[in-house]
Amino acid sequence: MRREAKGSADLNVLLDRINGRSYKAYRDLEGVWHFSEFTLFVDHTQSDPFASPSKLRVRLDSETTNLPEDALANPTRRMACASWLARAFRKTIHDIRPPRTGTGKGGLISIDAGGAEVLERTAVVFGDGFVEARIELGLPAAGRRILGGEAANLLIDVLPRIVARAWTRRSESDGRDLLHFINCIENQEIVRSSLRERNLIAFVGDGAILPRESGATERPMDRERAYPFQSPEPFRVDIEVPHADAGAPGRIWHGMGIPRGIVLLVGGGYHGKSTLLRAIERGIAPHIPGDGRETVVSDPSLVKVRAEDGRSIRDVDIRGFIDHLPKPQGESDPPSTREFSSADASGSTSQAANIVESIEAGATGLLLDEDTSATNFMVRDAKMQALIHPRDEPITPYLDRIRELYDVFGISTLLVMGSSGDYFAVADAVIEMKAYQAYDVSAKAKEIAGRGESNADVDSRTALTALTAARKRIPDRTSFDARRGRRHPKISSRGCDEMVYGTTEIDLRGIEQLFDASQTRAIGWAILYAATKIMNDRMTISAMLNELDRFFDQEGLDVLGPDHRSGHHPGALARPRRIEIAAVINRMRTLRLIRAS
Ligand code: ADP
Ligand code: MG
């Protein structure tokens, strides 16, 4: 139903009229309202005070927001500017503290501005001549009776004050902060795009604060307690960035370049190995000023791979790592490792599948941490090899594949390994973390490896070529029915830990580089979109991911939402990587593949 656009005075009259009526009468708000500084679109009103808050858009003319021209000069700067605007909006809500009134979510105003990473998201977008914030607002009620006066206060008084303070009456210092934020993000993206030509998979700037306040937050550790990162000599690189004093002092970033190839991170327990790796894992996206990791920049196709026992695996060729499994009682054949499936994978089979699937989805480098790897997948020492004949061991440890992965397939590995020196022989570089400082110990490690203590008499029973031969997997579209008997698709998620797609629960905890709940939501809708609009019975997972990326580049995220109506509030979404989309698909217990004939 289309309504005439009316002014805020009309809104006041309407709220007065529905005051005290049943909550459903709030639906009369849906439509367009003209305010002096902006236009308010009420796209969806909640059905009761406890339901998810109502969805509103606040649209300002570009001139009103008075953004500096160079804030929007390219896609990276636009993304950063949108992120700053969303964060300013959120901070102003927090400062103004709108009164929480009545029952349920009444008075709650929110915007999905994101966390430590800056991602492309739907919270703030730039349209043709306008800037728009997508917000949620809890319409107030006493029980199920509309509190019209409170609603008027929120919409006609509080909301315009937030918009003015956050967006249109920027102080001079806010203006500087905006440009600094954008410059800081752009510097990171420019360093990122230069990594390949420098033959690096990651860069960690001198002075970076890598540790976090605790395991439960992404806030930086107190600068009094944290040792800033310092690059060790042979890995030191200088990178010139366009903006001075944005991320690091001056226009040259000094730091450690992690080369392509095989790099080990060694060192005693509790000396900062995993902390460095985690910063690199998260370095696939830019970080906000003040985060401590503004100069930690990784190749966007690095994938953290871990053991994940219990996960579901469907038809993955894991022969490169695991072959000749024992025959189960009562079966005529042993389980296939060419099309390996399991409803409850082991540590080693899950890690093998995670690697093969990551490469299928486009990984160019793997990040592994001994803390989260299956021991038998990583190494098998000489004594064990003497006892257990290779014929009776299905696992070819990662150690025996790591070199081939790089030499033949160009897949780098950065591995945290403090417990086995067997990797020295295959490493291109070895970095030691000692009391949170990085040192080059490559030469010493090579010398030790040269003493012949390593067990590198590799058996190559199964060539890793299984990886390339790995049948290009074609998903069956009917695996992705999100309706499950209902009329409308239903996809919900709990943070970055779980998604319920239709009736299928998907455990996401093993997907460590999924950092934002809004990415989880976007992945759910992207899978549904791909299943209904992109996939056919010949399209591989990898081709489907290409199409999705193209779609995101061209259309943005807005059209993904559940009940997409052109221009309406799309919900809180952030752009996921193709790697994480594939990771979710691969963990769906409903996944079926189309057999290649
Ligand atoms: P490892 O993987 O080598 O066992 P971790 O990376 O888990 O060690 O670090 C151990 C502890 O030290 C963590 O609590 C972490 O927060 C802290 N830590 C790591 N790096 C630093 C640092 N640069 N400065 C201060 N504390 C740090
Ligand atoms: Mg560790």
Q: Measured over all CA atoms, what is the biggest interatomic distance in the chain, rounded to whole angstroms?
A: 88
pLDDT band with cut points at 50, 70 and 90 for residue 461: very low
d(CA 376, ligand 1 centre) in Å: 26
* Sequential DSSP letters for 474-524: -B-GGGG---TTSSS--EEEETTTEEEETTEEEE-TT-TT---HHHHHHHH
Question: In Å, what is the CA distance from 295 to each residue of 256, 503, 538?
Answer: 10, 42, 42
Residues 480, 538: one domain? Answer: yes
In a shared domain, residues 440 and 514: no
> Is residue 183 within 8 Å of 251, Cβ to Cβ?
no
d(CA 366, CA 303): 5
- Of 263-272, 389-398, 434-443, 450-459, where does mean pLDDT reach its minimum? 450-459
Q: Specify the ligand 1 atom closest to the Cα of 277.
A: 6
Residue nearest to atom 5 of ligand 1 (CA): 272
**pLDDT(466) > 80:** no
Report how far ligand 2's centroid is from the alpha carbon of 277 (Å).
Answer: 9
Could you tell me what percentage of the chain is helix, strand and coil, using 3-state DSSP and rounding each to the nearest 5? 35, 20, 45
Residue finishing a domain among 170, 191, 215: 170
Smallest-distance ligand from the CA of 215: 1
How far, in Å, CA of 347 to CA of 308, rounded?
6
Query: 54: part of which helix (H) or strand (E)?
Result: strand 54-61
pTM value is 0.95
Last residue of a domain, one of 132, 150, 170: 170
Q: How many domains does the chain have?
A: 3
194 C-alpha to ligand 2 centroid (Å): 29
Q: What is d(CA 46, CA 53) in angstroms, rounded to the nearest whole number?
A: 6
Q: What is the average pLDDT score of the chain?
A: 94
Assess whether pLDDT exceeds 50 at residue 250: yes
475 Cβ contact list (under 8 Å, min separation 6): 535, 541, 544, 585, 591, 592, 593, 594
Same domain, 12 and 160: yes
Distance 269 CA to ligand 1 centre (A): 9
The number of residues in the chain equals 597
Q: Tell me how far apart the alpha carbons of residues 388 and 161 are, in angstroms, rounded to a whole number.
A: 73
Compute the average pLDDT of residues 89-100. 95
Amino acid at 472: K
Measured in whole angstroms, the distance separating CA 321 from the mean position of its chain's CA atoms is 27
Percentage of residues of the chain with pLDDT beyond 90: 89
Domain span including residue 335: 302-461
Residue 67 lies in a domain: yes
Ligand 1, atom 25, lies closest to the CA of 226
Q: Is 214 part of a structural domain of the chain?
A: no
What residue owns the CA closest to ligand 1's atom 9?
Answer: 272
Which of 270, 371, 415, when mutated, tests ligand 1's pocket best, judged by the most ligand atoms within 8 Å of its CB? 270
Same domain for 140 and 75: yes
Q: Tell me if 204 is assigned to some domain.
A: no
* High-pLDDT (> 70) share of the chain, %: 95
CA distance 461 to 323: 9
Three-class SS of 81-118:
HHHHHHHHHHHHHHHHCCCCCCCCCCCCEEECCCCCEC
What is residue 134's three-state secondary structure?
strand
298: CA distance to ligand 1 center in Å? Answer: 20
* pLDDT tens-digit map of 480-499: 999 977 788 999 999 999 99
246 part of a folded domain: no
pLDDT digits (tens, 9 = 90+) for 413-423: 999 999 999 99
What's the 433 CA to ligand 1 centre distance in angstroms? 10
- d(CA 512, ligand 1 centre) in Å: 18
Q: Do 31 and 110 sit in the same domain of this protein?
A: yes
Question: How confident is the model at residue 470, as a pLDDT?
Answer: 58
- DSSP reduced 3-state for 33: strand
Query: How far away, in angstroms, is 274 Cα from ligand 1 center?
Result: 7
Nearest ligand to the CA atom of 269: 1
Q: What is the CA radius of gyration of the chain?
A: 27
Q: Are the C-beta atoms of residues 283 and 202 closer than 8 Å to each other?
A: yes
Model pLDDT for residues 139-194, shown as the tens digit of each residue? 999 999 999 999 999 999 999 999 999 999 999 999 999 999 999 999 999 999 99
> For the segment 263-299, what is each residue's pLDDT rounded down to a tens digit?
999 999 999 999 999 999 999 999 999 999 999 999 9
Q: Are the C-beta atoms of residues 366 and 303 closer than 8 Å to each other?
A: yes
Dist. CA 347–CA 329, nearest whole Å = 22
Measured from the CA of 276, which atom of ligand 1 is nearest? Answer: 6
Q: Are 433 and 526 in the same domain?
A: no
- Say yes or no: 450 and 479 in one domain: no
Task: Compute the distance from residue 32 Cα to the ligand 1 centre, in Å.
Answer: 52
Asked whether residue 270 is domain-assigned, the answer is no
pLDDT digit string, tens, across residues 318-348: 999 999 899 989 999 999 999 999 999 999 9
Both 441 and 489 in one domain: the answer is: no
Any alpha helices (H) in 28-171, and if so which ranges?
62-65, 75-96, 148-152, 159-163
Query: pLDDT-based confidence at 79, cuts 50/70/90?
Result: very high
Asked if the structure places residue 184 within a domain, the reply is no
Confidence of residue 564 (pLDDT cuts 50, 70, 90): confident
Residue 195 pLDDT > 60: yes
Q: What's the confidence (pLDDT) of residue 1? A: 44
- Asked whether residue 405 falls in the same domain as residue 312, the answer is yes
Continuous H helices in 269-381: 273-282, 347-360, 375-378
452 and 386 both lie in a single domain: yes
CA of 371 to the centre of ligand 2 (A): 6
Minimum-distance ligand 1 atom for the alpha carbon of 267: 3
Ligand 1 nearest atom to the CA of residue 271, by list position: 3
Residue 545 has pLDDT above 70, yes or no: yes
Ligand 1: atom nearest CA of 210 is 23
Instruction: Tell me the ligand closest to 272's alpha carbon.
Output: 1
The ligand with the least distance to the CA atom of 434 is 1
Residues with CB under 6 A from ligand 1: 210-211, 221, 225-227, 267, 269-275, 433, 436
- Ligand 2 centroid from CA 494, angstroms: 27
The number of the ligand 1 atom at minimal distance from the alpha carbon of 209 is 23
E strands, 130-241, in order: 130-137, 141-142, 145-146, 200-205, 236-240
pLDDT, residue 524, reads 97
Tell me the pLDDT band of 459, cut-offs 50, 70 and 90.
very low
**What does the alpha-carbon distance between residue 410 and residue 403 come to, in Å, rounded to a whole number?**
10
- Of 17-21, 384-388, 566-570, the poorest mean pLDDT is in 566-570
Ligand nearest to the CA of 270: 1
CA 530 – CA 536 distance, rounded (Å) = 9
Q: Residue 564: inside a domain, yes or no?
A: yes
Nearest to 191 by CA among 201, 181, 180, 182: 201
Place of tokens 């038998």: 376
Is 59:66 a contact under the CB 8 Å cutoff? no
**Concatenated DSSP letters of 353-408:** HHHHHHHHTT-SEEEEEGGGS-HHHH---HHHHHHS-GGG--B--GGGTHHHHHHH
| Domain closes at, from 129, 150, 170 | 170
* Same-domain check for residues 423 and 493: no
3-state secondary structure of 125: strand
**Which ligand places an atom closest to the C-alpha of 278?**
1
pLDDT at 3: 52
- Which of 231, 256, 275 has the most ligand 1 atoms within 8 A of CB, as the residue to mutate? 275
In a shared domain, residues 150 and 62: yes
Closest-approaching ligand to the CA atom of 266: 1
Do the domain assignments include residue 478? yes
Alpha-carbon gap, residue 567 to 32, rounded angstroms:
12
Contact at 8 Å (CB) between 50 and 152? no
Q: Cα(162) to centroid of ligand 2, in Å?
A: 44
CB atoms within 10 A of CB 562: 15
Query: Which of ligand 1's atoms lies nearest the C-alpha of 229?
Result: 23
Which atom of ligand 1 is nearest to 418's Cα?
3
